[in-house]
Amino acid sequence: MNWGYKLMFAFIAFAGMMLYLVFRSFGTNFELVEKDYYKNELAYQQIIDGADRAYTLSSLPELFQSGSGITLRMPEEMKNKKLTGTVWFYCAYDSKKDKKFTLETDSDGAQIFNNAPPAGIYKVKIEWNSSNESYYVEKSITIH
């Protein structure tokens, strides 16, 4: 076999490998943090203000895993108050694991999530309103 055929086989192998890589790249899933990213980015100042307000409380909300699910305990100042808001379990590597819940605390300022997300590492984004003041906290939790 002369060098012309070797060169032709090298080009065919190179083109075949490039086609394979292009084919594989079309199957890659690129997930954004949020589908309406731009709209939420414009309102980010509210998140900053809510986080500043939350850090002025005596303590931050606590998350812990128990036999009955995930328990959220709000600070002392939030007990016996009407709270509205959301709790978002955000999984950075798989959006199918994300879960969003409505904040519905009891008189002790606690909420149990029995329908917790599957095992994984989550960033929990807690956003709530009390007495026309908004609060925001992000916590990390590993669910087993």
Instruction: Enter the tokens of residue 120.
Output: 């994984």
Supply the pLDDT for residue 17: 97
Q: What is the second-level CATH architecture of the domain 37-143? A: Sandwich (2.60)
Closest of 112, 20, 97, 98 to residue 66, by C-alpha: 112
Cβ 72 vs Cβ 110: under 8 Å: yes
- DSSP letter, residue 104: -
Pick from 119, 118, 115: nearest CA to 102: 115
Residue-level pLDDT at 95: 84
pLDDT, residue 130, reads 92
Domain boundaries, the chain: 1-30, 37-143
pTM, entire model: 0.76
pLDDT at 32: 66
Task: Give the integer Cα–Cα distance in Å for 79 and 82.
Answer: 9
Instruction: Tell me which residues of the chain have a pLDDT lower than 70.
Output: 31-33
